Every structure is written in C-alpha cells, then in structure tokens.
Chains A and B, each alone.
Chain A
C-alpha cells in the first residue's frame, strides 16, 4: 500500500532554530531519506516553502479567485511530505515516527486510494 506522510510543524519553531540546529535537522532528514530509499519504502517527498509563500486558488461560479496565504490558518502548518510504500499501517506509522521532525509536530498518515490500472 502507499501512504502519504504529511509533516506538520509550527513554522515559528523552524524560524527560531539556530543555523547549527537547522543544519543538523537537514542532515538528519537527508540520512532518513537515504534510509527509506535503501529499504525500498521511498516513493517521493519534498520540503515545502513556508505558508508565507502559499497562494490559495478558489473557483466560484466559474471564476478564478486567487488570494495570498494558506487556505486555513492553523497552529501547525504542512511543511513537507513523503510518499511511501509500506506493507500496512503499522509499517507506515513506524516510518512516520522516525521522521526527524516528528518530535516537533504531528505526522498525518493518509492511505493513498489504489487506482485500478489496466
């Protein structure tokens, strides 16, 4: 099965990091990503720019409406994601718990809807 691991953090926490802490976190993410590539679980993943750079698009009555910012103000923001292949939810949550920033904010684990491929 495939799962999307949505990484949530308070952006203020990231901004409050010293350069050394930041570098360490990046290094840990690198090592983690290499680890799940080696184990065959990795299908994709990216870090996102903060919500200050988000743009929200809505379509109302066929008209496109573009606004600055995320669609909802939340305490924690989506900061990145991994797409993984895992045998079941237990394996997926075990991988999610190893994400370096997991101690700073929640990881939402969402199963991907399996599409019938001809």
Chain B
C-alpha cells in the first residue's frame, strides 16, 4: 500500500506535465486539461492500492484522463454553450494509445506547454506560477506557500493567466526557429527565478530548487542543441551542490570562502562541471559563463586556491553580454581577490558614484568586507551598518550583524578602548 502510494507520487511527478500538455493540445483548454488529469490521478489513488499499478501507468492515466475530459466536455455541451465541438470530436476520435505511443508528439506537447506558460504576453509572476502548476504539477497551495503569497492571490493569478491565454488567443505552439532564441530566454529566466527562490529560502523552499533542476533537465532533453539550456542546468547543479555548506546550524549564511568544502555534493559538482564544459563549447551565453564561474569555484580546493584572475576574466565576458551593475559588483569582488582589496575598492567606489545600486545591500556589504580585510575597522563598521539598514532577509541580517560586532570590537581595540 505504501509502495503504491510512493509509486503514484513518483509517476505524478514524472508524468503530470506530459499528460496535461497533451490534453491541452487536444482540449484547447488549460482548465479542462488540468481537471481531467487531476481526476485521473484521483482514480489511480483509489484503484491502484487495491488492483495494483497497471503495467503501463502512463497509458492508463492518459486513457483515464481522456475519458474524464470527454465526460466533462459532454456535460458542458449539454449545460452551457461555448464548448468547442471540434475539440470533443478530436478527443473522441484519438485513441489513447496513439497519444501515448507517439512519443515525439508527446515531447512536442511539453515544449509547447513550456513556451506557452512563459509567453511574453503573460507577466513574469504569472509565467512562474503557471509553469509550476501545469508543468510541474505543484498545487496552488504549494505555490502560494513557496512564494509566501496568500492562497487567494495565487489562485487568482493562475485563473487570470489562463483566462488571458484563452481570451487573448495566446497560441499553444513552440515558437518558430527565428524566434526560438529570444523566447527561450524568457523560459530560462523563469526556471532560474524558481531555482533562486528555492535557493534563497531556508527549509521548505528547497522543493522549488529541485523543481527548477527537474525543469532544466526536461528542457535539456527537449532542446539538446541549445547550449544555454545546458549552461543553466550546469549553473543550477553547481550552486545546488553547495547547499549543505551554505548555512550553519542556526540557518545563518556561510560565505563561499568560509564553507566546509567537504560538504559540497560531489555527484552534483561532477555533473555540473561536465555540463558547463559542454555548454561553453556550444558558444558562450550568459548562463554558460555563469556556470563556468561556478565551475572555477567548484574546482578549487579552498577559497585561497581559487583562480580569481580567471573568475574576474569570466565576469568581464559576462559584462559584455549582459551589462549590469550587479555583475560589476561581482566582478569587483573577484578583482579584489585577484589583485588586492584596494583594486576592488576602487571599482566599488566607481559603482557607488554612479548610484545605480542605491539601496542594494550587497554594495555596502561588499565594501565592508574589503575594508575589513584592509583592517580599516571604523570604515568597515560604518559600511556594515549601512548594509544592515537595507537588508530584508533574516539570515543575511544575522550574518551582517555578526560581522559588524566583530569589526566594532576591532575598531574599539584600534582606538585603545578596553
């Protein structure tokens, strides 16, 4: 019984997106497809513990969902207008085995679904929620919880997104080759946002990172020629590999340089490294270059033995592709390690003068760190105070407060106070 339950959960995770994607194509409706898939899994939950798991679980689920969809469509045709009779006919005529055995069509459906969920006519929040709901099969409750949003807000976000897809005529289609690169950017961004949401959350948020990595793997399967897909997957794996070392016993943040590298996950590192290499060979894009930076860290036995010059160089490449003050900030930190804190400080001063990062706590926090290394305690303390006044998250706040206490003490010592 427990076994069936586990099998069903595994199948739900593996098959939900495929089943919904195919049903959407056949039904022309996100809502109906989700309902039908949900009902099919409900039937499975009831029958499998008694009758055992069918030999071909996916075929069984698709066939069941199809019956449920036909029932639902017939009910709707009877009670309300506006149901597409073509959809009903198409569904009734498509034998379930054809849906299941036509592997290529099924994979195409999933790709269609990914691009539709991440269509630029939907706002970013809707893209993220829709992807997690329809492709990953997370419940509305789970998504709301993960994003610390009220359930009603998340439910409404999903309903509105589906209404827009229907009423504005957002096509259920993989974009033509000429637009693929541009549209893929939005898809990769959604996946990386989901990953970061999970990566930065303590505890339960972990599930989101896992979903993002799963999505990355699906994309990599579906678009094997796209180097940036490999780059993103590599980046996520390399970052996720450091997870166990990234927080201390009380959930406090541990910086890369202070992490116990024995806690890094070797299998994830190895997989990430080989993907990063393959991504870079495919022509460098922003994710591939970020993966390469993560790879340099992964290969260093300690922070001191890191090839910081190479990291600074990779940030130069990234800056050219994606000019951004945040990338400049990261580059400054790498330059500080490679050429000395004074060189890094000069770059930070320049950034501060331009004012683009005003209010972003990582700028004063990076400054504070370099001043601390230079043993300019009083200035470091001031910069930590500034960073603390801007930071929102608890773990970061505690980290900064700890550092501030440390440099405050040193600053007192330097002035000859007891």
Binding site for B on A (CB under 8 A): 1, 3, 86-90, 92-93, 109, 111, 113, 116
Contacts and interface: CB of A to CB of B under 8 A. Distances in A.
Contact of A92 (B119, B167, B169, B175): B169
19 contacts: A1-B169, A3-B169, A87-B169, A87-B171, A88-B169, A88-B170, A88-B171, A89-B119, A89-B121, A89-B168, A89-B169, A90-B170, A90-B171, A90-B173, A90-B175, A111-B167, A111-B168, A111-B169, A116-B81
A83 B81 CA distance: 26
SS class, residues of chain B in contact with chain A: loop
6 cross-chain pairs, A with B, having the tightest CB-CB distances, nearest first: A88-B171, A88-B169, A1-B169, A89-B169, A111-B168, A89-B170
A90 B171 CA distance: 7
A31 B81 CA distance: 41
Contact of B171 (A3, A89, A116): A89
Interface in B155-181: 167-171, 173, 175
A87 B170 CA distance: 10
A20 B36 CA distance: 61
Interface residues of B, number: 10
Contacts of B81: 116
B316 to A, nearest CB: 33
Contacts, number: 27
Contacts of A88: 169-171, 173
A83 to B, nearest CB: 15
A116 B173 CA distance: 27
Contacts of B170: 88-90
A1 B173 CA distance: 16
| Most B CB within 10 A of own CB, among A1, A89, A113 | A89
Contacts of B167: 111, 113
A97 to B, nearest CB: 12
Nearest to A116: B81
A22 B169 CA distance: 35
Interface of B: 81, 119, 121, 167-171, 173, 175
Given A87-B171, A90-B173, 12 more contacts: A86-B169, A87-B169, A88-B170, A88-B171, A89-B119, A89-B121, A89-B169, A89-B171, A90-B175, A93-B121, A111-B167, A111-B169
Contacts of B171: 87-90
A89 to B, nearest CB: 5
Contacts of A1: 169
A55 to B, nearest CB: 31
B86 to A, nearest CB: 15
A29 B333 CA distance: 53
Nearest to B119: A89
A90 B81 CA distance: 27
Contacts of B121: 89, 93
Contacts of A87: 169, 171
Nearest to B167: A111
A4 to B, nearest CB: 12
Contacts of B168: 89, 109, 111
A88 B169 CA distance: 5
A1 B119 CA distance: 18
Contacts of B173: 88, 90
Nearest to A113: B167
A86 B168 CA distance: 11
A14 to B, nearest CB: 28
Contacts of B119: 89
Nearest to B179: A90
A91 to B, nearest CB: 8
Nearest to B166: A111
Contacts of A116: 81
A42 B28 CA distance: 26
A103 B44 CA distance: 55
Contacts of B175: 90
Contacts of A89: 119, 121, 168-171
Contacts of A92: 169
A94 B171 CA distance: 13
Contacts of A86: 169
A89 B171 CA distance: 7
A89 B115 CA distance: 14
Nearest to A90: B171
